[in-house]
């Protein structure tokens, strides 16, 4: 077990003695500590502290895997009967699988902002909805990402895949400006450009649908440079996998600790896959896309093993929001949860999540409440990094991960796609109870038999809120009689009031609007735009 | 790996040599087989065959676990977020988990008839609906159960739990008349008697609801004698577990191979649990009932270990039909499948299933098509028993179990609760495609948001049938355009015609009606009935 020397930025393990008088900040070899002489020892140790870099090779590595529009019921290990996800299933078998893990938004950009900052999207201003290729805004640069938390400790940092937290004028909001040394990827959703003439499956199967016809073709960027436009979907996953495994092995070779963030485009619409996965699943285009992601997960784990750092790496997997049910058989599945993407029912925000760290995390299943918000504080705690000096909404998951213990998180607050102070949160989960103050369907969740999920289910206020016991009724089918749950409702009301009192809405970054001239174009001076933006 | 000497009733394992010339029926130690002298060897071996009994101790044992009204999504290992099923999850982790396993009926008695006979319920006449305490009919005695298949090979046989295949005049249809040496249990559903004044949870929590007020109190029987009436729900599971583990250990001690069939009352309404499980789950009454069943599964596995026969025992688990959704939070959950009990949507008939046999069955997941119909032929094949000389609908699952290979089963036919020759089957699954010729909701599946599941969704004929790709769309949400699947529809039509041509409906046993005088009563001469029937 590791203890954190968080203020000093050092750590040590169980073979060293923890000096009880000094608290959890210090652990030392027994020879250094004469009985009752702890304070002197602290001074002594402070004097002989080695430069951070010299201990860098002992720091744990982090890989953060983030799937796109993947539902609670989409993985084999979460009960899907025809998904082929052997590597993610193995990750679950070797690690800790979460049953009650939440994203903070039922759509993409806000969810990603929370994951990387440990703060609700309302604080950072990443709302309403998502960023577009020409969005003027982005994740504000004064927000501190996980990469920026780790950089001061000497970590190598890389992002491969979908950013979707803004591009902005001159690439102001790209990952390279947010703590990532290296970036390879599409800076937003891969449907945010025309896709009808692109190939999504070999040999030449066109992508299904049209996507965003008015935007520039989807670019692939290396750091801040456009490498290819439009991106080649058939080659993309291999490029990502090679980039990611290369980053793992080169970091390990340098004995530099690393943080790899891999937000995949899979399984977002339009689904695509290269030759390794195309047609290989039994679940059609969605299944193939999922399998391609799963194959990369396998490649990354193999790279950890080959580089000798498997036992020193925490791999954490989850997804941004629920399935896009409107894509019918090409969309995901929220399993037994109600509705999907775009809604504040659990199907929109409850996600699969797995934490794996050989020898450190005991395999199993946890029913503890946790969230993407908690990833930053957990990583910071494990690495011994300082937390950003801003109000954080996340808590350290260490007790869950390393002791299968109780969560520090007591509540989860559900913001809709378009949070407004006037409405506040749409729903609150406190322990096993969930109160829906507002409900609303969404285009994204159209098409299943549950009418509540559809766009035609307009905003509805519930007073008292609809109350559910999510343990007895995870599908939110049977609301409880409020008269018999006054105490629960009172506690939820108090938690909601407390939370909303402490919530300061940041200026909306999405409402800064769109300037088509900001859309990434590999030949900036070309005409006519957007169609002339094509290279590589 | 075992090969079957099925005609001779012998078996052997990999350390013996399989004589290629003689096919899979024979395997012998190498010393017995001179090169190219196989036929002589067969004659030689035939002459020295030992009496069956002398090899009895080498025969594998079988435990068949059968849950009640348990949905596809109800176990932890099938994705339920709050069920606590560690022993069943472990069974799955150590064994082979099925994703495409079907019962033959969306209600109880017919499903059980098929499980025990390997034949659709229409052949045996166990339809429409279920048996009642005073039913005149039962599973016909000329039907051959798994117990009767194994008895000639010297197996000890026992049934503990819910029979529900008839009682009849003088106990004509009790398990003891169908090949079971020992029986302890309630001979039908435990809601088929008044339950409002019974205790379902300690210390004195009454059962929820009223159950069948007009019938005698639910009896507990030992062989053909009523031991207790009404049954004590708080003590029942312990009695079952003790009986079952005692049977395992005594059989093992005698070195007698055994077949234990444990059809649990869990998780059928009204849910109950003794002190070990009551309040121990987080999922309420349903979760507690499920946990009590799970604890017994753990006890049985432990008994196998303690008796030294764990490696020589196939444990097979599944359930009779989909969840009774009308029970709301007290009912089960079919996960991502459509509807539940009473319907021919997959939620009514697709079930969790697990096969475990240490060292023989490689752990994993299979997506092969299989059914309760296949249990009898599989057990017969493994044991080397003769198959009943009647038309069987089951196939040997050996290729799936022992080689993770393809299923011999190509199709599954869905009969409604009330099969009629005029309508034929309501649906057909052929490979990954399912065609719904008729659909209908059911009272049992009332209460979820999907209107198709409700009683108010009356019988509807579909011509052409609604066609689904169950691998891309296991939830049966998006029917395929029939014009583009003419070949598939043609193959399904042919399979249906072929099947129905070979289906001879047996005389309905349920329509023989009810005679209240046949209801089991521990004091047969008492008045007034049914309330006077109370003992123990």
Distance from CA of A449 to the nearest CA of B (A): 5
If you count residue pairs, one on A and one on B, with CB atoms under 8 Å apart, how many are there?
A: 118
Q: How confident is the model at residue B3 (pLDDT cuts 50, 70, 90)?
A: very low
Report DSSP letters for B221-242, one per residue. Answer: EETTEEEEBS--HHHHHHHHHH
Q: How confident is the model at residue B289 (pLDDT cuts 50, 70, 90)?
A: very high
Is B147's pLDDT higher than 90? yes
Mean pLDDT of chain B: 91
Q: Could you report the average pLDDT of every consecutive run of 10 residues in chain A (536 residues)?
A: 30 31 33 35 36 55 98 98 98 98 98 98 98 98 98 98 98 98 98 97 97 97 98 98 98 98 98 98 97 98 98 98 98 98 98 98 98 98 98 98 97 98 98 98 96 98 98 98 98 98 98 98 96 94
- A82 closest CB neighbour out of B81, B328, B471: B471
Residue B536: the pLDDT is 83
Q: Say if residues A375 and A137 touch (Cβ distance below 8 Å).
A: no
Which residues of A are catalytically annotated?
108, 164
Is B9's pLDDT higher than 80? no
- What average pLDDT does range B264-268 have in this prediction? 98
Q: Which residues of chain B are within 8 Å of residue A432 when distances are taken between CB atoms?
A: 282
Residue B4: the pLDDT is 32
Distance from CA of B16 to the nearest CA of A (A): 34
* C-alpha closest to that of A193 among A441, A414, A521: A521
Per cent of chain B over pLDDT 70 is 89
Q: Say if residues B131 and B510 touch (Cβ distance below 8 Å).
A: yes
- A82 closest CB neighbour out of B287, B367, B450: B367
Residue B19: the pLDDT is 29
Secondary structure of A485-514 as H, E, C letters: HHHHHHHHHHHHHHHHHCCCCCCCCHHHCE
pTM attached to this predicted model: 0.90
User: Do the chains contact at B474 and A80, CB–CB below 8 Å?
Assistant: yes
- A450 closest CB neighbour out of B286, B432, B449: B449
By CB neighbour count within 10 A (0-12 exposed, 13-18 middle, 19+ buried), where does B204 fall?
A: exposed
- A100 closest CB neighbour out of B81, B452, B475: B81
Is B22's pLDDT higher than 50? no
Give the Cα separation of B148 and B177 in Å (integer): 10
User: Do the chains contact at A80 and B336, CB–CB below 8 Å?
Assistant: yes
User: Do the chains contact at A367 and B82, CB–CB below 8 Å?
Assistant: yes
Residue of B nearest to A479 (CA): B329
- B82 closest CB neighbour out of A328, A450, A474: A474
Residue B15: the pLDDT is 32
Q: Which residues of chain B are within 8 Å of residue A329 when distances are taken between CB atoms?
A: 469, 472-473, 477-478
Per cent of chain B over pLDDT 90 is 89
Residue of A nearest to B327 (CA): A478
Q: Which residues contact B244 (CB under 8 A, 6 or more apart)?
A: B158, B160, B260, B262, B296, B299, B300, B303
Residue A286: the pLDDT is 98
Distance from CA of B70 to the nearest CA of A (A): 14
Residue of B nearest to A366 (CA): B81
Which residues of B are catalytically annotated?
108, 164
User: Do the chains contact at B472 and A283, CB–CB below 8 Å?
Assistant: yes
Residue of B nearest to A288 (CA): B472
* C-alpha closest to that of A467 among A490, A492, A436: A436
Among positive and negative, which fits the CA dihedral A38, A41, A46, A50?
A: negative
Q: ipTM of this model?
A: 0.89
Q: Say if residues B228 and B220 touch (Cβ distance below 8 Å).
A: yes
Q: Which residues contact B149 (CB under 8 A, 6 or more apart)?
A: B179, B376, B379, B380, B383, B385, B386, B387, B388
Residue A19: the pLDDT is 29
Q: Which residues of chain B are within 8 Å of residue A353 when distances are taken between CB atoms?
A: none
Is B46's pLDDT higher than 50? no
Residue of B nearest to A334 (CA): B336
User: Do the chains contact at A99 and B93, CB–CB below 8 Å?
Assistant: no
pLDDT in tens, B442-491: 999 999 999 999 999 999 999 999 999 999 999 999 999 999 999 999 99
Residue B58: the pLDDT is 82
Task: Write the DSSP symbol of residue A222.
Answer: E
* C-alpha closest to that of A364 among A318, A315, A400: A400
Q: Which residues of chain A are within 8 Å of residue B478 when distances are taken between CB atoms?
A: 328-329, 447
Q: Which residues of chain A are within 8 Å of residue B473 when distances are taken between CB atoms?
A: 328-329
Distance from CA of A446 to the nearest CA of B (A): 12
- B336 closest CB neighbour out of A284, A336, A477: A336
Tokens of A173: 């909001």
- What average pLDDT does range B23-48 have in this prediction? 35
User: Do the chains contact at B449 and A449, CB–CB below 8 Å?
Assistant: yes
Give the Cα separation of A263 and A261 in Å (integer): 6
Task: Write the DSSP symbol of residue A451.
Answer: G
Residues of B engaging A, defined by a Cβ cutoff of 8 Å? 73, 76, 78-82, 89, 93, 99-100, 282-284, 286-287, 328-329, 333-336, 338, 365, 367, 432, 447-452, 469-475, 477-478
């Amino acid at each position: 077990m590791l203890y954190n020397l968080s203020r000093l930025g050092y750590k040590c393990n169980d073979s060293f003695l923890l000096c009880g008088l000094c608290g959890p900040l210090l652990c030392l070899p027994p020879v250094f500590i004469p009985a009752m002489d702890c304070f002197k020892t602290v001074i002594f140790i402070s004097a002989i502290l080695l430069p951070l870099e010299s201990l860098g090779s002992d720091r744990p590595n982090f890989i953060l895997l983030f799937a796109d529009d993947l539902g609670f019921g989409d993985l084999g290990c979460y009960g899907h009967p025809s998904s082929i996800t052997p590597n993610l299933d193995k990750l679950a078998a070797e690690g800790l699988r979460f049953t009650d893990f939440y994203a903070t938004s039922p759509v993409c950009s806000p969810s990603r902002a929370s994951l990387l900052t440990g703060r609700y999207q309302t604080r950072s201003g990443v709302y309403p909805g998502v960023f577009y290729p020409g969005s003027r805004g982005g994740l504000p640069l004064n927000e501190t990402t996980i990469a920026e938390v780790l950089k001061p400790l000497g970590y190598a940092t890389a992002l491969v895949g979908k950013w979707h937290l803004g591009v902005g004028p001159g690439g102001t909001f790209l990952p390279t400006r947010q703590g990532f040394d290296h970036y390879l990827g599409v800076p937003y959703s891969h449907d945010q450009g025309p896709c009808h003439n692109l190939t999504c499956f070999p040999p030449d199967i066109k992508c299904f649908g049209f996507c965003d016809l008015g935007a520039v073709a989807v670019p692939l960027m290396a750091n801040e440079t456009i490498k290819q436009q439009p991106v080649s979907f058939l080659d993309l996953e291999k490029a990502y996998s090679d980039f990611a495994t290369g980053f793992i092995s080169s970091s390990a070779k340098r004995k530099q600790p690393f943080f790899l963030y891999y937000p995949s485009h899979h399984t977002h619409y339009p689904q695509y896959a290269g030759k390794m996965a195309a047609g290989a699943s039994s679940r059609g285009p969605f299944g193939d896309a999922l399998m391609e992601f799963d194959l990369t997960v396998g490649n990354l784990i193999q790279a950890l093993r080959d580089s000798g750092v498997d036992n020193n790496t925490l791999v954490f997997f989850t997804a941004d929001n629920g399935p896009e049910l409107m894509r019918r058989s090409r969309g995901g599945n929220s399993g037994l949860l109600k509705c999907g993407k775009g809604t504040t029912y659990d199907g929109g925000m409850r996600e699969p999540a797995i934490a794996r760290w050989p020898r450190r995390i005991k395999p199993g299943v946890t029913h503890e409440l946790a969230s993407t918000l908690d990833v930053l504080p957990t990583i910071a705690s494990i690495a011994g990094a300082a937390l950003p000096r801003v109000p954080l909404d996340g808590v350290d998951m260490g007790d869950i991960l390393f002791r299968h213990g109780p969560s520090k998180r007591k509540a989860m607050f559900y913001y809709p796609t378009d949070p407004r102070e006037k409405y506040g949160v749409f729903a609150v989960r406190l322990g096993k109870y969930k109160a829906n103050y507002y409900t609303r369907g969404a285009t994204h969740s159209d098409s299943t038999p549950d009418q509540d999920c559809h766009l035609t289910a307009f905003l509805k206020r519930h007073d008292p809120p609809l109350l559910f016991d999510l343990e007895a009724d995870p599908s939110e089918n049977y609301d409880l009689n409020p008269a018999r749950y006054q105490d629960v409702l009172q506690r939820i009301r108090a938690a909601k009031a407390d939370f909303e009192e402490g919530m300061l809405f940041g200026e909306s970054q999405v409402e800064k609007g769109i300037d088509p001239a900001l859309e990434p174009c590999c030949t900036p001076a070309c005409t006519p735009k957007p169609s002339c933006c094509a290279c590589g």
